[in-house]
Amino acid sequence: MPEPPRRSGYHAPPMALTTGERIGPFQVVAPIGKGGMGEVYRARDTRLSRDVALKMLPEGSAADEESLRRFERETRAVAALNHPNILAIHDTGMHQDMPYAVTELLQGETLQDRLRSGTLTPQRATEIACQMAEGLAAAHAMGVIHRDVKPENIFLTHDGRAKILDFGIARIENPALRTGKLSDGSGTTSSSVFVMGTAGYISPEQVRGKRADARSDLFALGAVYFEMLTGRRAFLRDTAVETLGAVLRDDPRKYPEAEKVPEALRGFLFRCLEKDPADRYQSARDLLLDLRAWQAGAVKEAGARVQFRSVPPWRHRKTRMMLRSVAGLLLLALGFYAGSCWRAERQTAAAPAGTRAPNP
């Protein structure tokens, strides 16, 4: 599991767990990091001989009802979503009255870290967008709305896979995934919009305090996609209030950076960023089908270009014309030669005995 975000000027107390400490079958190896929503450790699963990530609430958070609710929401949501593009959870439990969760240990970097190095190629950005859509489609099918899709919550593994992280503020529509104290967040109002998402990535309906649904996650995916392709955050402004206003009013189609988006991808991208949910893709699966179709066409076109570049010289137009000319001359010479031989044979056959036909 990746290191939680660190806040400037934040000095955390020492980690609550020590190297070698056991939590059930999990043995702490080393701390990975600490943030406001949890302490993360590298641990060893002694039963299966594999390294895992162990996350616990920060010390003192057990008494915070909201922290407990968020932790429980995340573990329940992720545990129900068995998908290669979503962080996998292996176990959960309590240790000294503190809840913990055990997840797969990821190697790589967040998309946020990767974007600090610059934009991605259209092919790589589209592949990441496809994998995000795959993960979101699986979550939505289970009645889980993420509500906080952003580069910080997308992890890129060393083998090229994108993983969706942090379902801590997810809205859970599936009653089977709820408990008595686990709210689905449907009572969110505009006064709590900052809690229910991240300014710059939340959808216009979330800014207005309306209920988020699958199309809200697709708006956030579109904002991330735009950032991958252009290097510009679609709606970021100097203050949170201005950023939320930009989400409601600004059209990224009009930005100069929009020219960096390949023309064939613009329709897909800007459909995700429509202000009205009814004008967006209605499901992550629909977006995925369009993006995969573009990928297939791009691969076919690239293959055609490679084939053209790799044509041997003798098949080039000028070379073919030269070869045809040479072949024509050879055929003409052979024709003259064959004709001469034929005439010589006729003359020999017609000459009287004891005479010899003249040389051709």
Residue with tokens 């709820």: 178
Residue with tokens 């990530």: 53
C-alpha distance from residue 250 to each of 105, 237, 292, 338 (Å): 39, 11, 28, 82
At 53, list the tokens.
Answer: 């990530």
- Contact predicate 246/227, CB 8 Å: no
Sheet with 50-56, side-by-side order of all strands? 22-23, 26-35, 38-45, 50-56, 98-104, 89-95
Closest CA to 163 of 176, 152, 174: 152
Catalytic-role residue among 45, 64, 97, 148: 148
What angle, rounded to 10 degrees, do the helices at 263-272 and 214-230 form?
Answer: 140
DSSP, residue by residue, 317-344: HHHHHHHHHHHHHHHHHHHHHHHHHHHH
- Contact predicate 206/194, CB 8 Å: no
To the query of whether residue 148 is one of the catalytic residues in this protein, the response is yes
- Say whether 54 sits in a helix, a strand or coil: strand
Closest CA to 154 of 199, 80, 220: 220
User: Quick one: three-class SS letters along 277-291?
Assistant: HHHCCCCHHHHHHHH
Q: At 203, give phi and psi (nearest 5°).
A: -80, 165
157: left (phi over 0), alpha (psi -120 to 50) or beta: beta
Looking at the annotation, which residues are catalytic? 148
